[in-house]
């Protein structure tokens, strides 16, 4: 039946995956609208239970992802290419780094760049456990530490893990661009069966909800900016209008295609975002204060990273971590397949070591600069200026309005705020149309041409979920987004552990096992006086020596230095003489040790001390 419906609609996808994911999305929208209060209560209770009882699992999981990625880059597998072994990288380093910048971080930084440091400055996360007073120098340092913890290495570890898995299984094993492909070492051909389809349906649904949460945060920020500039009320009606406009523009961009739509918008937005960053730095109260603070906070973050990576608010037990760190990790991992496939597609031809270092380091470094400039600019206003940010963000709980409150302290605040709103809008348009393309690819299982209607459907689906969470969920906007993220994120965390196992297993299967390391063996060395005693010993000697002839007084090897040969090159292809190393590059050649004879040669006399040359002590 699904196949007949698929053909009538002239689709080109996997019917079971497409209709199952679409059906769950439609059911969620209808259930939320028809049963708002019961569903809201159930969602809130379930997310609260997860935060209280499994928050530690989210914190531990992301740290383990980061450790695993570092291990993969440092291990012998770091040299494995994500593609054919003789293929060069598809993009230059500069182009690759620029595309990594556009891979999902813009929307995050625009929303939290000011709100995160100010929130923690006014209400220190570790105030109860460490006695940090609000709005003090210690609170400022800890605030930026947590902002960097949330948006640098750990966040990008969540993106890098599935991206690396996608890159390996898509480019190396030539499998479909689906989450189920990562499980091929475990499932085999069953990735095309019910289990594989179930994994893909869960991944698509989670990605739709994760992108919807991001769009929802952007809608709240746009609504807050319009309220400050034009007096537009912050209510459900205006949020629906904003969602409709953003979704419509994104659908137009999807129709224009990658080159004329997403690429053009992304390039314009990157330039605008960097321009806004430079404006905040140059027009602020103290450029030197921001620069010094950025450098100092990066060092403080690195020093405190091991502690922050495992901190669980055990002593304070304030519940702060549940609504911040746990929400971040759960939200980020839900849309990691979308970012992961994008990063995998642009990273063909790079080694695993290049991939991990680049994807972890480059966006993280930009986040350090962004939070350094915007965060310390906001703290400068609070510590050395007129203030007002803590009052609006912490006391009034207007997190979406944090950026515009900061810009109100700058010259040309109205015009700059309009530009900032435009940047936020374009960031979320590019996120939505990119997500539509990637989700469609995940549903199809290939990257070839597909009907436009399929891609438009996924853009519309994300818009519908965003509107449902913000307007019809029965909770406050941000609370609803947090609740659904924590619930959807749990299965993704479980799947991520299987991804780590599958990737390492595939690498061991494809790269083979290395033999145990071998070294040459050495004769036993004795002190000269003991050597003489043993050589002179006779029947009256009470000690039984094991082969005293093997003992020497000077270090001498017993076997030759092992010669490493390239396991990938056939011996018949080797130049004559290449199997024997040159004397001056071996350990024997460098140390002057005696070289052992080759097979068929007479062994030289073993070098030792004449008995009469040494007078044993004590005799």
CB 273 within 8 A of CB 105: no
pTM: 0.83
Domain residue limits, the chain: 2-174+203-314+322-504, 521-537+546-571+612-616
- In sign, the C-alpha dihedral spanning 185, 191, 194, 195 is positive
Tokens 């040359």 identify what position? Answer: 613
Whole-number pLDDT of residue 575 = 56
Band (52; pLDDT cuts 50, 70, 90): confident
Which residues contact residue 310 at a Cβ distance below 8 angstroms, ignoring those fewer than 6 apart?
59, 60, 63
Q: How far apart are CA 443 and CA 32, in angstroms?
A: 25
For residue 442, give both structure tokens: 């995940």
Q: What is the pLDDT of residue 235?
A: 84
**Nearest-CA neighbor of 142 among 129, 153, 161?**
129
Report d(CA 571, CA 91) in Å as an integer. Answer: 35
Look at residue 274 in the predicted model and tell me its pLDDT: 85
Residue with tokens 């965060």: 375
Yes or no: say if 69 and 364 are a contact pair by the CB < 8 Å rule. no
From residue 205, how far is each of 51, 345, 440, 516, 517 by CA, in Å? 21, 21, 12, 46, 48
Tell me which H or E stretch contains 138.
helix 137-151
CA distance 23 to 347: 33
User: How far from the centroid of its chain's Cα atoms is residue 572's Cα?
Assistant: 44
More confident residue, 6 or 370: 370
Q: What is the pLDDT of residues 418-473, one digit of tens each?
A: 988 888 888 778 778 778 888 888 988 877 767 888 888 998 999 898 888 887 76
- 187-238 residue pLDDT tens: 999 999 999 999 999 999 988 888 888 888 888 888 888 888 888 888 888 8
Residues 6+ apart with CB under 8 A from 401: 221, 224, 225, 227, 228, 392, 393
pLDDT tens-digit readout, 568-583: 666 555 555 554 444 4
Predicted confidence (pLDDT) at residue 617 exceeds the cutoff of 50: no
Torsion angle in degrees (nearest 10) through CA of 487, 492, 498, 504: -150
pLDDT digits (tens, 9 = 90+) for 5-45: 877 877 788 889 999 999 999 998 888 888 878 888 888 88
Q: Measured between alpha carbons, how far is 330 from 344 in angstroms, rounded to an integer?
A: 21
CA torsion 583-588-592-598 (nearest 10°) is: -70
| pLDDT tier for residue 613 given thresholds of 50, 70 and 90 | low
d(CA 255, CA 285): 44
How far, in Å, are 225, 395, 478 from residue 399 at the CA level? 11, 10, 9
Instruction: Give 551's strand partners.
Output: 524
Please give the backbone phi and psi of residue 164, each rounded to the nearest 5 degrees, phi first: -65, -40
- Confidence band, pLDDT 50/70/90 cuts, at residue 295: very high
Query: Cα–Cα distance between 281 and 289 in angstroms, integer?
Result: 10
Average pLDDT in the chain? 83
* Pick among 3.40.50, 1.20.1740, 1.10.4030, 1.10.8: CATH of 2-174+203-314+322-504: 1.20.1740
Evaluated on CA atoms 321, 324, 326, 329, the torsion sign reads: negative
Among 46-50, 479-483, 492-496, the range scoring the smallest mean pLDDT is 479-483
Tokens, residue 602:
């007479």
On the question of pLDDT at 66 being above 90, the answer is yes
pLDDT at 564: 73
């Amino acid at each position: 039946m699904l196949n007949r419906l698929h053909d009538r609609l002239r689709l080109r996808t996997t019917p079971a995956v497409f209709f199952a994911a679409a059906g769950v999305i439609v059911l969620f929208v209808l259930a939320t609208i028809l049963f708002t209060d019961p569903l809201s209560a159930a969602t809130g209770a379930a997310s609260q239970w997860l935060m209280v009882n499994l928050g530690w699992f989210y914190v531990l999981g992301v740290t383990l992802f980061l450790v695993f990625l570092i291990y993969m880059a440092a291990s012998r597998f770091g040299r494995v290419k994500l593609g054919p072994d003789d293929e060069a990288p598809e993009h230059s380093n500069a182009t690759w780094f620029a595309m990594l910048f556009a891979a999902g971080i813009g929307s995050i930084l625009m929303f939290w760049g000011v709100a995160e440091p100010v929130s923690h400055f006014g209400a220190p996360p570790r105030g109860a456990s460490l006695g940090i007073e609000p709005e003090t120098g210690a609170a400022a340092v800890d605030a930026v530490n947590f902002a960097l913890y949330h948006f640098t290495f750990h966040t990008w570890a969540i993106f890098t893990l599935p991206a690396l898995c996608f890159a390996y299984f898509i480019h190396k094993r030539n499998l479909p661009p689906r989450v189920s492909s990562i499980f091929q070492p475990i499932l085999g051909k069953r990735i095309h069966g019910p289990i594989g389809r179930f994994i893909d349906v869960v991944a698509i649904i989670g990605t739709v909800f994760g992108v919807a949460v991001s769009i929802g945060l952007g809608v709240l920020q746009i609504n807050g900016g319009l309220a400050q500039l034009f007096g537009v009320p912050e209510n459900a009606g205006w949020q629906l209008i904003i969602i409709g406009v953003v979704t419509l523009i994104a659908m137009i961009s999807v129709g224009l295609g990658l080159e004329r739509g997403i690429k053009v918008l992304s390039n314009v937005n990157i330039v605008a975002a960097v321009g806004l960053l430079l404006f905040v730095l140059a027009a602020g109260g103290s450029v030197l204060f921001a620069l010094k603070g950025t450098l100092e906070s990066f060092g403080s973050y690195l020093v405190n990273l091991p502690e922050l990576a495992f901190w669980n608010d055990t002593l304070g037990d304030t519940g702060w971590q549940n609504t911040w760190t746990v929400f971040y990790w759960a939200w980020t991992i839900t849309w990691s397949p979308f970012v992961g496939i994008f990063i995998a597609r642009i990273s063909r031809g790079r080694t695993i070591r290049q991939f991990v270092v680049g994807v972890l380091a480059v966006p993280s470094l930009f986040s350090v600069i962004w939070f350094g400039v915007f965060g310390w600019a906001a703290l400068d206003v609070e510590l050395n200026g007129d203030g007002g940010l803590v009052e609006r963000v912490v006391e009034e709980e207007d997190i979406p309005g944090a950026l515009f409150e900061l810009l109100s302290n700058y010259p040309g605040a109205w015009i700059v705020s309009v530009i900032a709103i435009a940047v936020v809008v374009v960031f979320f348009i590019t996120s939505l149309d990119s997500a539509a393309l990637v989700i469609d690819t995940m549903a199809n299982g290939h990257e070839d041409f597909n009907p436009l209607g399929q891609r438009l459907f996924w853009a519309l689906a994300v818009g519908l979920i965003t509107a449902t969470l913000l307007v019809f969920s029965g909770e406050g906007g941000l609370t609803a987004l947090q609740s659904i993220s924590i619930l959807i994120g749990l299965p993704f965390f479980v799947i991520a552990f299987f991804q780590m196992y599958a990737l390492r297993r595939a690498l061991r299967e494809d790269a083979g096992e290395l033999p145990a390391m071998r070294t040459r063996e050495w004769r036993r060395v004795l002190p000269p006086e003991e050597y003489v005693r043993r050589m002179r010993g006779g029947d009256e000697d009470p000690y039984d020596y094991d082969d005293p002839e093997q003992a020497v007084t000077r270090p001498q090897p017993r076997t030759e230095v092992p010669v490493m040969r390239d396991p990938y090159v056939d011996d018949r292809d080797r130049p004559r003489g290449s199997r024997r190393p040159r004397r001056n590059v071996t350990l024997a050649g460098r140390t002057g040790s005696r070289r052992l004879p080759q097979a068929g040669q007479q062994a030289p006399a073993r070098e030792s001390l004449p008995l009469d040359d040494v007078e044993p002590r004590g005799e």
